[in-house]
Structures are given as C-alpha cells and as structure tokens.
C-alpha cells in the first residue's frame, strides 16, 4: 500500500515544499498563540477565571455596571 502512495508522490514535481509549508504554518500558529497568551490583560483573565464561581445575579449585575 505504501509503495503505491510513495510512487505517486515521487512523480509529482514540487511536492517537497508542502511539508515545509505545513511545518511553517504549524510553528507560526503556536508562536502567535503564545504571543497572544502572554500579552492578554491580567484583569480580563481574572474576570474570566471567576465566571464559573459567580452565580447568575452577580454576573448580570457586573454586566450592567460595565455597560
């Protein structure tokens, strides 16, 4: 089975660039994600982390204050 796939891949010209492009996209995505995580505001993270601990009245009250 693998011989058939390998033979077909060998006959396609320029196919060696696709793994490099895939690796670049993968690497750039995670570098961008790390940058976004480290530059995210601490206040927003604290609000988001406290959401599961609040009941509905506190959540609705804080939304009215923010708007």
Q: 18 vs 24, 37, 45, CA distance in Å?
A: 10, 29, 37
Mean pLDDT of the 17-31 span: 96
pLDDT tens for 38-67 read: 998 988 888 888 887 777 666 666 655 555
* Count of domains observed in the chain: 1
- For residue 13, give its domain range: 2-66
Confidence of residue 30 (pLDDT cuts 50, 70, 90): very high
Contacts of 9 (CB under 8 A, 6+ apart): 15
CA distance 17 to 14: 6
Q: 10 vs 30, 38, 61, CA distance in Å?
A: 31, 43, 64
């Amino acid at each position: 089975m693998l011989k058939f796939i390998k033979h077909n891949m060998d006959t396609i010209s320029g196919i060696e660039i696709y793994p490099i492009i895939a690796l670049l996209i993968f690497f750039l995505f995670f570098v961008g994600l790390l940058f976004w995580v480290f530059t995210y505001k601490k206040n927003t993270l604290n609000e988001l982390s406290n959401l599961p601990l609040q009941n509905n009245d506190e959540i609705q009250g804080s939304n009215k204050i923010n708007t």
